[in-house]
Amino acid sequence: MASFVPANGNWQYKRIPTKANTVYTAGALYYNDGTDNLDAVTTAEELYGIIIEGKASAANTNPITVAVPTSPQCEFYGTVGTGTLTAAMIGRYVDLASSTTVDVTASTEDALEVCGFISATEGLFKINYSKGKE
């Protein structure tokens, strides 16, 4: 299953409100569209953290649990959805392929930094805070 999981650094786990009739995917990165916290989209630059507890689309606004990095050095495991990750990519900025996967072939938004190589489809990443939420 494609997703992001906190790995290194201090992460703060907190409950945040949700938008009614909106799906929240466990393991997805999330951002704020100016009004609501939502699963990240491929053009999202200001990422806030990782959704730990998802929610199916429902009329309620029940809160969900998220992991929020407490410093720019917090790293997380991630799945590559587009391209092939190599060790030579460490230090490169890449984009999201979806809210739960990385596109290592694109660097339009530069939302994430590659921090470690695990396999061609798994890596260690962190939010690019020159683009992301500070």
88 DSSP 8-state letter: G
Residue 134 has a pLDDT of 42
- pLDDT above 90 as % of the chain: 73
What's the gap between Cα 73 and its chain centre?
Answer: 14
**pTM value > 0.75:** yes
d(CA 41, CA 97): 8
Give tens-digit pLDDT for 21-79.
999 999 999 998 888 888 898 888 789 999 999 998 888 889 999 999 999 999 999 99
> In the predicted model, what is the mean pLDDT of residues 73-88?
97
Question: Strand order in 29-32's β-sheet?
Answer: 11-16, 64-69, 47-51, 29-32, 37-39
